[in-house]
Amino acid sequence: MGITALLLLTGGYILVAELPLVIGNADDDLWQGFRNTVFFAFSTVPIQLSVGMVLAYMLFQNIKGRALFRLIYFMPYVMPFVATSAVFRLLFSHRPESPINQVIAIFGIEPQRWLLEPSGVTQLLFGPGVIEAIRQSSPVLADWVAGPSLALMSIVFYSAWTYIGYSAVIFLAGLGNIPNELYEAARIDGASRWAEFRHITFPLLSPTTFFLSMIAIIGTFKAFVQIFIMRSPAASSAVDTASIYIFETLRTQTRYGYGSAMAFVLFAVILTLTIIQNRYMGRKVFYG
């Protein structure tokens, strides 16, 4: 207890002493890190949950080999992050003969730089002229409109691929708790499969969705391993999230007080989001 109290007092002192410095003298890299964190979190979580729910609903049906499919989809989650991140780094190579560039070449798309591309996806789709026009009136708004970089979206794709299987397994557990009598009554009334999913499955999966969304947002805001491995110096400023920037501040600049204060700020942001999500989404959860 004494050691815990001492650690809390030390952390509190660091927060009080360094927080004004963090807020008042925060450099552009810090704000860019938090912006990248928001892009990463709110790009990964919807893909992870939506695809996971669809896969779970498909695997819950009486199809042949569903046990094998469940194992295949869950394997990315149990595989080491270091190994799979290294594999995806090769898949998203900027070389024209890389697997991803060869796939998009089938559709007539030119090879992309992927992990080396710092430009936002909106800027790549609509050209730099649109973003530059917005930047003349509001540079901050232009940075948000430009969207996440192509390099960050490559990491988003990897993160979603990793956690989709986990979400599907949890959704399968939630589907198993839905009484079959509800589906039988709906079929007697002539409900279609879509109507069953919309009015029975989706509402009764709200506790599972609430749990997975909370865990996913917390996980993405503090994600580190896959981003650190897949990042490249050419696009580091467009990829480095808050956790990466805090680590680099401690490792390269040895500013331990400043880095600790930023860690507490990140913790406060995650805690605030968790409380807001718990209060807002908690009211919409249907427990039966």
The residue among 5 and 134 whose pLDDT is bigger is 134
| Maximum average pLDDT range among 167-171, 175-179, 197-201 | 167-171
Q: Count, in order, helices (H) and strands (E) of the chain.
A: 16, 0
Q: Report yes or no on 92 lying in a domain.
A: no
The residue among 213 and 147 whose pLDDT is bigger is 213
Please state the rounded mean pLDDT for residues 264-272: 88
Q: Report yes or no on 70 lying in a domain.
A: yes
List, for residues 109-139, the tens digit of each pLDDT value: 899 999 999 888 888 887 777 778 887 887 7
Q: Report yes or no on 217 lying in a domain.
A: yes
Q: Report yes or no on 8 lying in a domain.
A: no
Query: What per-residue confidence (pLDDT) applies to 71?
Result: 87
Q: What pTM was computed for the model?
A: 0.85
Give me the torsion for CA of 112, 113, 118, 119, rounded to 10°. Answer: -20
Query: Which of 196, 218, 216 minimizes the C-alpha distance to 205?
Result: 196
**pLDDT confidence of 22, banded at 50, 70, 90?**
low
Q: Report yes or no on 248 lying in a domain.
A: yes
| Maximum average pLDDT range among 40-44, 138-142, 273-277 | 40-44
List beta partners, residue 149.
120
First vs last C-alpha separation in the chain: 41
Report how far residue 40's alpha carbon sits from residue 111's, in angstroms, rounded to the nearest whole number.
23
Residue range(s) defining the domain that contains residue 216: 27-77+156-282
Q: What is the mean pLDDT of the chain?
A: 85
Beta carbons within 8 Å of 208's beta carbon, 6+ residues apart: 170, 171, 173, 174
Which ranges of the chain would DSSP assign to H, the alpha helix?
2-24, 28-59, 66-78, 81-91, 99-105, 121-126, 128-137, 139-145, 150-176, 180-188, 193-196, 202-204, 206-221, 225-230, 242-252, 256-282
Query: How large is the C-alpha radius of gyration of the chain?
Result: 22
User: Tell me, what CATH number does 192's domain have?
Assistant: 1.10.3720.10
Q: Report yes or no on 91 lying in a domain.
A: no
Q: Report yes or no on 228 lying in a domain.
A: yes
Number of domains in the chain: 1
Q: Report yes or no on 95 lying in a domain.
A: no
Query: Which of 224, 230, 229, 226 minimizes the C-alpha distance to 246?
Result: 224
Report how far residue 93's alpha carbon sits from residue 16's, in angstroms, rounded to the nearest whole number.
44
Whether 100 has a pLDDT exceeding 70, the answer reads: yes
Give me the torsion for CA of 129, 134, 136, 139, rounded to 10°. Answer: -120
